[in-house]
């Protein structure tokens, strides 16, 4: 059997990932977008587990009202690092990895526009990840000012050392910004310039539209955050006074720099997940995406609106009334294009022929939780309600439904859906479903209780709390531990299936899309001849061919 599999793989001129001579390329400076995509995914998943351990330590402290498990400084370091790792080392890089893998295949390109830039952008991730982790070992420990790092707290440097946790944190965030800007330039160029013949804008899969919309945000938003981080670094290290009120600086100015990027960043995260939903639902409901053009264009409308809503994070920060009202209006408006997408997915599923395998289950679970998060989001947009729940657990519950409920569930849907394409192996449905149910229950147990806690007035970021909040906190902590365990069947499934899973055909899901017309995994150059696209995506229920030259895409060499 082993000989046979080597023979089969040599026919498509590419050893399978996992074959002895093949391991190395995942650890080296490869310029193949598919290798880089998998490098991103595996690296970021490693950091997801680290961030998850931090989360479980936090929930361990919060299972009792008193601050009795950790020193308060350690607790504060834990939630700072949890947020930072989960955003900058898990969510962003994992989505960049997924986009890296899929975009060139979906638009019929042989690689990204700038393959070397792509590799450099990736290798910055382990670099700043290491810097961030190293901050645990400097005197005074890692940054304890939260992932938002508001001055003046972030400028207080009790150790007095130049090299301190906050300084390393800012350095890591700045490098992360550089890496993401490199990625954004690459994605936007690739999508604009490298589409295959016949791949017009309105023949692109929605996933590509959402990646484009998300990466445009990186281009206009990240410079603001990176500038803010550098100014804060200067305040901290050489004593400038941009943000230090004791020297005449303005601490609220930093909040504008920070949120001008970090709110749109939420859309950098959720837009590709909208793309995943738009790809997964049609395949497993066997129907075209409902209202494709509107769904595609509304991604760009979200990009535009996302740049004018940031002050809703600052409703309680000395923001004047007129500004509160203006940003309440823009924030609420953004729910319109988002609502259009939700309704379009429901209409896609409605009347379909549903097959509830693992990716579909994760996508459906993600959609349910996204709708819930959207509703609490509108509540938060309403200034009077936000004045009560701002900086309480209600906000924490809301964004964990977005970031875990919708984003992580959507990512899992994508992992399972494209696993056969990436590895050439099928995953185990049984373990996949177990993973789904554990994740669904864990997510709701963990994050739902945060809503009543916030409404009752429990502030976020606290290491200790009044005993009246104990009940819901115990449930949330149990949910967090369950969520931690839920990753075990996933890891088992991914590793086990990659090593010894059943061989995957080109198109195990009978899906429509360029990536499904080539072998699993695709060859180094993706397409031998560029595909000539002759139909829009999502042609389910019709039998029109997608490309004019399906036979020319790959050259199958006869075995010698």
Of residues 281 through 320, those in contact with other proteins by CB under 8 A are 285-288, 290-294, 316-318, 320
Q: Which residue, 321 or 559, has its beta carbon nearer to other proteins? A: 321
Q: Which residue, 150 or 498, has its beta carbon nearer to other proteins? A: 150
Helix (H) or strand (E) holding 246: none
Q: Which residue, 419 or 540, has its beta carbon nearer to other proteins? A: 540
Rule CB under 8 A: is residue 321 a binding residue for other proteins? yes
The site map against other proteins for 426-455 (x = CB under 8 A) is --------------------------x--x
CB 401 within 8 Å of CB 373 = yes
Rule CB under 8 A: is residue 241 a binding residue for other proteins? no
Contacts of 39 (CB under 8 A, 6+ apart): 26, 30, 97, 122
Q: How many chain residues bind other proteins (CB under 8 A)?
A: 98
CB of 474 to other proteins, least distance (A): 18
Among the listed residues 131, 250, 164, the one whose alpha carbon sits nearest the alpha carbon of residue 156:
164
Cα separations (Å) of 266 from 215, 407, 541?
Answer: 12, 10, 35
| Site residues (CB under 8 A) for other proteins, limited to 486-515 | 510
Rule CB under 8 A: is residue 462 a binding residue for other proteins? yes
> Residues 99-134, buried b or exposed e (16+ Cβ, 10 A)?
bbbbbbbbbbbbbbbbbebbbbbbebbeebbebbbe
- Supply angle C-alpha 429, 14, 115, rounded to 5: 95
Rule CB under 8 A: is residue 367 a binding residue for other proteins? yes
| Site residues (CB under 8 A) for other proteins, limited to 65-104 | 67-74, 76-77
The site map against other proteins for 384-413 (x = CB under 8 A) is xx-xx-xxx---------------------
**Which residue, chain included where needed, has tokens 């509160």?**
324
Query: Can you read off the two tokens belonging to residue 107?
Result: 């638009």
CB of 228 to other proteins, least distance (A): 16
| Site residues (CB under 8 A) for other proteins, limited to 199-238 | none
Q: Which residue, 183 or 410, has its beta carbon nearer to other proteins? A: 410
Q: Which residue, 20 or 467, has its beta carbon nearer to other proteins? A: 467
Query: Phi first, then psi: what are they for 292, rounded to 5°?
Result: -50, -50
- Could you say which of 114, 201, 220, 368 contacts other proteins (CB under 8 A)? 368
Q: What 3-state class would DSSP assign to 69? A: coil
Among the listed residues 41, 15, 40, 7, the one whose alpha carbon sits nearest the alpha carbon of residue 524:
15
CB of 501 to other proteins, least distance (A): 22
CB of 413 to other proteins, least distance (A): 15
Q: Half-sphere exposure of residue 3, counting CA atoms within 13 Å on the CB side? A: 1
CB of 462 to other proteins, least distance (A): 4
Q: Which residue, 25 or 433, has its beta carbon nearer to other proteins? A: 433
Which among 93-101, 193-201, 335-343, 517-525 is the span making contact with other proteins, rule CB under 8 A?
335-343
Write the Ramachandran bin of 557: left for phi over 0, alpha for psi from -120 to 50, otherwise beta.
beta
Which among 18-26, 122-130, 223-231, 460-468 is the span making contact with other proteins, rule CB under 8 A?
460-468
> Residues 360-374, buried b or exposed e (16+ Cβ, 10 A)?
bbbbbbbbebbbbbb
Among the listed residues 520, 512, 515, the one whose alpha carbon sits nearest the alpha carbon of residue 543:
512
How many other CB atoms sit within 10 Å of the CB of residue 91?
26
The site map against other proteins for 116-155 (x = CB under 8 A) is -----------------------xxx--xxx---x-xx--
Contacts of 364 (CB under 8 A, 6+ apart): 349, 356
CB of 155 to other proteins, least distance (A): 9
Q: Which residue, 122 or 538, has its beta carbon nearer to other proteins? A: 538
Rule CB under 8 A: is residue 15 a binding residue for other proteins? no
Which among 46-54, 262-270, 272-280, 370-378 is the span making contact with other proteins, rule CB under 8 A?
370-378
Which among 43-51, 194-202, 321-329, 407-415 is the span making contact with other proteins, rule CB under 8 A?
321-329
Q: Which residue, 382 or 524, has its beta carbon nearer to other proteins? A: 382
Q: Which residue, 35 or 409, has its beta carbon nearer to other proteins? A: 409
Q: Which residue, 412 or 540, has its beta carbon nearer to other proteins? A: 540
> E strands along 13-99, which residues?
none
> Residues 266-282, buried b or exposed e (16+ Cβ, 10 A)?
bbbbbbbbbbbbbbbbb
Rule CB under 8 A: is residue 253 a binding residue for other proteins? no
């Amino acid at each position: 059997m082993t000989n046979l599999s080597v023979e089969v793989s040599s026919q498509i001129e590419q050893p399978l990932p996992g074959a002895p001579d093949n391991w190395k390329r995942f650890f080296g400076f490869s310029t193949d977008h598919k290798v880089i995509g998998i490098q991103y995914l595996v690296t970021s998943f490693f950091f997801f587990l680290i961030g998850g351990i931090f989360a479980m330590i936090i929930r361990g402290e919060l299972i009792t009202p008193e601050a009795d498990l950790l020193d308060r400084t350690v607790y504060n370091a834990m939630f700072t690092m949890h947020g930072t790792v989960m955003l900058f080392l898990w969510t962003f890089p994992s989505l960049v990895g997924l986009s890296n893998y899929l975009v060139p295949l979906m638009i019929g390109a042989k690689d990204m526009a700038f393959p070397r830039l792509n590799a450099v952008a990736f290798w910055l991730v382990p670099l700043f990840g290491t810097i961030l982790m190293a901050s645990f070992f400097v005197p005074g420990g890692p940054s304890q000012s939260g992932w938002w790092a508001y001055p003046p707290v972030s400028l207080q440097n009790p150790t007095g050392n130049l090299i301190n946790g906050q300084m390393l944190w800012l350095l890591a965030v700045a490098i992360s910004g550089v890496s993401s800007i490199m990625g954004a330039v690459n994605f936007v160029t690739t999508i604009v310039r490298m589409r295959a013949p016949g791949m017009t804008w309105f023949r692109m899969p929605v996933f590509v539209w959402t990646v484009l919309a998300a990466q445009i945000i990186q281009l206009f938003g990240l410079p603001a955050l990176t500038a803010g981080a550098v100014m804060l670094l200067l305040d901290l290290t050489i004593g400038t006074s941009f943000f230090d009120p004791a020297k005449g600086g303005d601490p609220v100015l930093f909040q504008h720099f920070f949120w001008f990027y970090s709110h749109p960043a939420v859309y950098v995260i959720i837009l590709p997940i909208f793309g995943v939903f738009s790809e997964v639902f049609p395949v497993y409901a066997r129907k075209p995406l409902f209202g494709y053009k509107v769904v595609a264009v509304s991604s760009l409308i979200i990009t535009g609106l996302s740049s004018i809503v940031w002050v809703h994070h600052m409703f309680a920060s000395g923001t004047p009334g007129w500004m509160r009202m203006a940003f309440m209006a823009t924030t609420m408006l953004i729910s319109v294009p988002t609502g259009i997408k939700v309704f379009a997915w429901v209409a896609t599923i409605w009347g379909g022929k549903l097959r509830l395998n693992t990716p579909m289950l994760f996508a459906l679970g993600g959609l349910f939780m996204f709708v819930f998060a959207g509703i609490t989001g509108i509540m938060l947009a309403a200034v009077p309600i936000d004045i009560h729940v701002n900086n309480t657990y209600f906000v924490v519950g809301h964004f964990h439904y977005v970031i875990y409920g919708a984003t992580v569930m959507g990512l899992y849907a994508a992992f399972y859906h494209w696993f056969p394409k990436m590895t050439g192996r099928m995953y185990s449905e049984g373990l996949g479903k177990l993973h789904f149910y554990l994740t669904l229950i864990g997510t709701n147990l963990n994050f739902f209780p945060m809503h009543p806690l916030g409404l009752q007035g429990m502030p976020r970021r606290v290491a200790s709390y009044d005993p009246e909040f104990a009940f819901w906190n115990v449930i949330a902590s149990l949910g967090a531990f369950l969520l931690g365990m839920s990753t075990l069947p996933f890891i088992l499934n991914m590793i086990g299936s990659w090593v010894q899973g059943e061989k995957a055909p080109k198109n195990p899901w009978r899906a429509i899309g360029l990536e499904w017309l080539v072998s699993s995994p695709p060859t180094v150059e993706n397409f031998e001849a560029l595909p000539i696209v002759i139909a829009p995506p999502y042609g389910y229920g019709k039998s029109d061919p997608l490309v004019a030259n399906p036979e020319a895409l790959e050259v199958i060499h006869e075995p010698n």
